[in-house]
C-alpha cells in the first residue's frame, strides 16, 4: 500500500513536470520559427504548448482532488451527533465601571437626595478647565521673537 502511495505521488509530480516542460519546449520552438507562415514546426509548437497546458491542468487537479480526498478520509471516524449546545461566554468582572443605565441611580441620604446622573453619552467631559482669562491677541512677529 505504501508503494502505491509513493507511485501516485511520483506520477503527479511527473505529470506536472512534463506539462511544464512541453509548454517551455513549444514556446522555444515557436520563438525560433522566424516566419509568419503556418509551417510544420509552428504546428508542432502549438500542439506542444496546448498539450503541456492540458498535462499541467490534469496534474494540478489530480493533486488537489487527492489532497481533498485524503483529508476527508482522515476526518472520518466515529461521528456522534451531540444534542448539547455549548455556549462560551465571558463574564464581566466587577472591576469594570458600571454601564450607563446602571449608573443612573438615585441615592437617598438622611437629609438630602442626591441624583447621581452620569453625563450624557458622546459629549465632552466637564473635566476640562476652561480658561476664561484667555485673550485673543496676535502672536509676536518673527523679528520680535528673535530679539
Rounded distance between C-alpha atoms, residue 63 and residue 54, angstroms: 14
pTM assigned to the model:
0.47
Contact 22, 55 (CB under 8 A): yes
Per-residue model confidence as pLDDT tens digits over 51-79: 999 999 999 998 888 888 877 777 665 55
Pick the residue with more confidence: 78 or 7?
7
Helix (H, G, I), strand (E, B) or coil at 108: strand
Q: Which residue is it, cell 455556549?
A: 87
Amino acid at each position: 500500500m505504501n508503494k502505491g502511495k509513493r507511485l501516485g505521488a511520483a506520477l503527479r509530480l511527473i505529470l506536472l513536470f512534463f506539462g511544464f516542460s512541453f509548454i517551455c519546449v513549444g514556446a522555444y520552438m515557436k520563438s525560433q520559427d522566424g516566419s509568419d507562415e503556418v509551417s510544420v514546426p509552428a504546428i508542432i509548437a502549438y500542439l506542444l504548448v496546448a498539450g503541456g497546458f492540458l498535462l499541467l491542468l490534469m496534474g494540478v487537479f489530480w493533486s488537489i482532488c487527492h489532497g481533498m480526498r485524503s483529508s476527508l478520509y482522515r476526518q472520518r471516524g466515529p461521528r456522534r451527533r451531540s444534542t448539547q449546545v455549548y455556549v462560551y461566554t465571558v463574564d464581566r468582572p466587577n472591576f469594570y465601571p458600571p454601564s450607563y443605565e446602571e449608573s443612573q441611580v438615585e441615592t437617598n441620604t438622611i437629609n438630602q437626595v442626591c441624583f447621581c446622573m452620569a453625563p450624557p453619552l458622546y459629549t465632552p467631559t466637564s473635566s476640562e478647565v476652561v480658561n476664561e482669562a484667555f485673550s485673543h491677541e496676535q502672536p509676536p512677529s518673527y523679528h520680535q521673537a528673535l530679539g
